[in-house]
Structure formats: structure tokens, C-alpha cells
Amino acid sequence: MHAAGRHALELLARLGYGARGVTYCLVGGLAVLAAIGVGGQTGGSRSALLILLERPFGWILLGIVAFGLAAFALWRVVEAITDADAYGRSAKGLATRAGHLVSGVTYGGLGASMMTAALGRGTARQAEDQGARDWTAWLLQQPLGQWLVGAVGLIVIGAGLAFAWKAWKGDVCKRLSVPHDARDWVRHVGRFGYAARALTFGLIGGFLIAAALASRSSEVKGLGGALQTLRGEPYGWVLLGLTAAGLAAFGVFGLVQARYRRIEPPDLDAARRAVKDIAG
């Protein structure tokens, strides 16, 4: 890939990390406000981003974030296919790359939905968990559908456990080139953020397993549903507040990644060879 193309891909990746960071800051910040009773909301990414439309020139802001999410989706797919971060072909490496590929598809859908809303072609407010429920309903109708949905739930819980390990023992600064005097607070913020993601992924995976056991797609809930579940527990405002603060911390960590993450855009020929290997 020419130097200009590699530089453009790096810029898109950084814009993507920033857009993901803004999204988590909004989700977490709004949920913190809800936890302490001064407004806010316990919604997912879509409902949090749509808050931007209520601000002056909000459609421009939402459009920028939507473009950034699409850029992040592109980077995740490229990263997964070309192994830009050198995870390798071990079981752990392939699982990580598969997770990035799924992440790319997910953020691509979110970016497209938000761009549609920014252009005034629908607010997408009713689509918070509907997409997940639709594919769950489809999967349940397939042979061994309940087992498949349960397997997906276990995979999501597994991802949550991986985030928990990263929060406890992982080096969250491994791929960052942050100034030495900032590493401590970046590490603490990143670990707090991953801990919150671990909890929410665990709950979302649990909802999927419940859907499999009951054979009802209505049991499926996304991030907003996970936050609302925490709010309904005893001392729920404390659980919600801590988790929401962690999600906001992950958003801040994403902004740090946008600035300081080491990004190695792949060579175009290597990317083409990787695609051919997968296709054939």
C-alpha cells in the first residue's frame, strides 16, 4: 500500500477509536446521571447517540460520529483479516481476530443506523434491541436453534470473562505510546472500563442463554437492558452508577487510544493475499 493510503487508513482507525470513545462516554455519562437521579437514561449506544439530535447542529455531530463508527468498522475488519496487530493463528489469536471481525460488523451496523438518523430518514429509536431479537428469533427457528443461541450466549460470556481478565491482570497500555507520567492513570481508567464491559457482556450473554432456555427472543437485551437490570436490583443505583462510570471510563480510554495507540496499517498486497486465503 502506498504511504498515502497507509496514512489514510491510520487516520480512519484513529477516528474510529475516537468515535467509539465518544459513544461510551455518552452511554456511561447518561447512565450515571440516571443513577444519581438528575436526568439521563439507561439506554444503549443508539439511544445515547440520538441525544445528539436534540442539540444545536446535532445532526452534524451525529453524522461525524456515525462516519467515525463506520471507519472503526472498516479498521476492525481490515485488522481481523490481515492480522495487523500480529495476533497470529493460535487458538487465542484466531478467537481475538474473530471477535474483531464481529465487532466490525456490529459497529458498521450502528454507524449506518446513526447516519440514517443524521440524514433525517428515521430516528432508529425503536431499534435499540430489536436487531438482536430479530436474529435470535431467526436462529431459534433453525435446527438446533436453542443450542445455537445458547452457544452464542456462552461466547458473549466468554468475551466478558476475557475483559475481566484484562481488567484484573492485563496490560491495557500494551499497544499505547502514552507519556510515561500518564501511564498510571491511563492504566487505571482502562482497567475500570474493561471491568464494566465485563459485567455488561456477562449480563447480555445471560439474556441470550435465558432466551435459548425459554425459546423466546423477547428475553434478549442489549447494553441498555443490562443497565436497566442493574438499576432494578437492591442498591441498584450504586451498581448502575459504578458500571456506568466504568463505561464512561472506557470511553475516555477510547479517546486515549485514538491519540496514542500504535497502529500499523497493513500492506495492500498482504491484505489481498489474506482475503484470497480466506476465500479459497
pLDDT of res. 128:
66
The pLDDT score that the predictor gives to residue 112 is 94
Number of helical H runs and strand E runs in the chain: 10, 0
- Set of cell numbers at residue 169: 491482570
pLDDT of residue 247: 97
Beta bridge partners of 176: 261
Cα dihedral 164/170/176/181 (nearest 10): 110
3-state secondary structure of 175: coil
Report the C-alpha gap between 35 and 241 in whole angstroms. Answer: 5
Residue 116: what pLDDT? 92
What's the sign of the alpha-carbon dihedral 109, 113, 115, 121? positive
Domain map (residue ranges) of the chain: 3-274
Tell me what pLDDT residue 107 has: 95
Decide: pTM greater than 0.85.
Answer: yes
pLDDT value of position 274 = 56
Residue 134 confidence (pLDDT): 84
Ranges of the chain with pLDDT below 70: 1-4, 121-128, 267-280
